[in-house]
Amino acid sequence: MELLTCHLAHLERKYPSKFQISNIGSCSKTNQNFIYENPFNTINFSFILEGSGTYRDETGIYAIQAPYLITQCDQFSYSYGPGEGEKWKEVYFMYPLYTRDVFEDSGLYKSGRKHWPIQNETAVEKNFEKLSLLLKDRNSEGVIDLIDRICENSILESIRTSTKSENKPYYNELEKLKDKIDKNLDQPNNFQELAKAHNISYSAFRKYWKNYFGKSPQNYLNDKKIQEARRLLVETNLSISEIAYQLNFEDRLYFSKRFKRQTNQSATSYRKTHETRHNLL
């Protein structure tokens, strides 16, 4: 295994970004998994540029096919790496653990979204070409600030859905479906029926939805519902049970568990925290 790491945390920022990177590294490996058993003290983004393999965390084992991005940042153990006979090329970013909240507020990291297919591979590759040149000159004034922002942009490009639909099967149909779901969160959604109505097989629907939007249809819907629940908690006087019912959750208990898992706060605590701030505006 080849491993190269460039430490950047000590460099002085003249134009500080919210996302100040600590380390950038790259590695190539064959038939070897990285296994992490201890809690991370950093938040990491690993760009898998070539190869295929697996990623394992507390929720299960997942197939990885480049281009792909995986993250590490919590108390669970991980293992990931190439499959048998596969070569694996990876570039990784490491940030201080205290930036996790900043990443979550920005939407670039979510505890419920730990890995996803890279959406805009060409843009990411161009960024890495820039980084390769800038890292050689990283001690020059202002260069580290450019590096911070290019790294942030690389993470964004890995998530951001391209507006171009060429060579993307069912992209336009799924975009319309997503827009319909976003506007009707209070309505029950049967994904099998939705797929059939748009002449898409259910297996293709699930596959391409996850490829384009980074998560399964059900997880996407639940995340959007929690987003709407956060608004309702602050802007209305609806009870938690009423909000759960309005958003078609199975019951209040399931809603409460899902809400806390996504926001790291109970619904009651979220309302108290943000309602006060809302009333002051």
Position 32 scores a pLDDT of: 62
Strands 2-7 and 23-30: antiparallel
Q: Which pLDDT value is given to residue 210? A: 87
Whether the predicted pLDDT of 232 surpasses 60: yes
| Residue 41 contacts residue 22 (beta carbons within 8 Å) | no
Q: Is 70 exceeded by the pLDDT of residue 161? A: no
Partners of 259 in beta bridges:
none
Residues 72-81 have pLDDT tens digits of 886 667 778 8
Cα–Cα distance for residue pair 217/120, rounded to 1 Å: 21
Model pLDDT for residues 212-221, shown as the tens digit of each residue? 888 889 888 9
pTM of the model: 0.58
Task: Return the higher-pLDDT residue of 167 and 122.
Answer: 122
Q: What pLDDT score does 2 carry?
A: 45
CA distance 146 to 251: 48
